[in-house]
A and B are shown apart, each in its own frame.
Chain A
Amino acid sequence: AQKITQTQPGMFVQEKEAVTLDCTYDTSDQSYGLFWYKQPSSGEMIFLIYQGSYDEQNATEGRYSLNFQKARKSANLVISASQLGDSAMYFCAMREGGTSYGKLTFGQGTILTVHP
């Protein structure tokens, strides 16, 4: 079974609108971390946002927020007020276990295209 599932291969959004990128995960661990990374066409991996499994509040970082629904095992990324520079591949990732140093397991990614 896939540990991280991103069901949207591609998403389109109009500039200045909000968009939600879906991510579901599968783990039997009680303690884990969820991450979103952005990969522009230049190839680098840019950290966006983190949600710990015990965090009670949904994480927010500027225009990025994470809609964390633990019972449903989903960790969707919401980008508000999309900008042309948001066009990129977005990866959801999970770190299992209670340590901060475990490996990351990535999903297949979603290509986001922002239209002017």
Chain B
Amino acid sequence: EPEVTQTPSHQVTQMGQEVILRCVPISNHLYFYWYRQILGQKVEFLVSFYNNEISEKSEIFDDQFSVERPDGSNFTLKIRSTKLEDSAMYFCASLRLGTGAREQYFGPGTRLTVT
């Protein structure tokens, strides 16, 4: 069964450094998302992406964040200058559009630790 993949599974970085989290959505999916989950808290929406542009973003998704689909398969989340409070699990998700499409498929997550 096709699945969303994410790399790396765990990233440790120092405060102020840039990080890029990578995702490979399911191949025939057209809508992509990033969510984050701070340890012990609920999952929060960051951004959705369709047709090479941001469709919707949350208040969390400020100028320090950016997303890109650099090629036909990868979908990336960049944090320009990480802060301690960016430490969280980051989930990528994708959605097939069209008749019957409903659930977003989540990747296994990247645990980001900012020290």
Contact = CB atoms under 8 A, between A and B. Distances in A.
Given A44-B108, A100-B97, A106 B102 contact: no
Interface residues of A, number: 23
B102 A37 contact: no
A105 B44 CA distance: 7
A102 B102 CA distance: 10
A43 B102 contact: no
A108 B37 CA distance: 11
Interface size range on B against A: 20 to 34
A46 B41 CA distance: 17
B51 to A, nearest CB: 11
A43 B107 CA distance: 10
Interface in B29-79: 31, 33, 35, 41-45, 48, 50, 55-56, 58
Contact of B42 (A52, A101, A107): A107
Contacts of B55: 101
